[in-house]
């Protein structure tokens, strides 16, 4: 089930995700998705009012994403941690 808005932090870390399908559209605090196997940012939130956390060294999919790619898909008010 997909939530439109999460009023706090949203963590989908330590999984087997290859993309971010079914993540909420709006995250009011930090969004963390490290420790997955991401090969795509498909389905990432449209708005993150905190930080967007995707530590590259822990992305087991070995796909390196750039801040520019993330900001193209998502309005991040805080910092982007790669």
pLDDT of 17-59, one tens digit each?
A: 999 999 999 999 999 999 888 999 999 999 999 999 998 777 7
Q: What is the pLDDT of residue 78?
A: 98
Strands in 26-27's sheet, in edge-to-edge order, are 5-6, 26-27, 47-48, 75-76
18: left (phi over 0), alpha (psi -120 to 50) or beta: alpha
Extents of the domains making up the chain: 1-82
């Amino acid at each position: 089930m997909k939530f439109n808005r999460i009023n706090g932090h949203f963590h989908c870390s330590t999984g087997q995700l290859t993309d971010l399908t079914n993540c909420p559209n709006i995250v009011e605090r930090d969004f963390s998705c490290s420790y997955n196997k991401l090969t795509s940012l498909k389905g990432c939130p449209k708005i993150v009012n905190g930080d967007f956390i995707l530590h590259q060294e822990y992305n087991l999919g070995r796909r390196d994403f750039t801040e520019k790619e993330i900001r193209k898909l998502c309005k991040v008010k805080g910092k982007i941690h790669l």
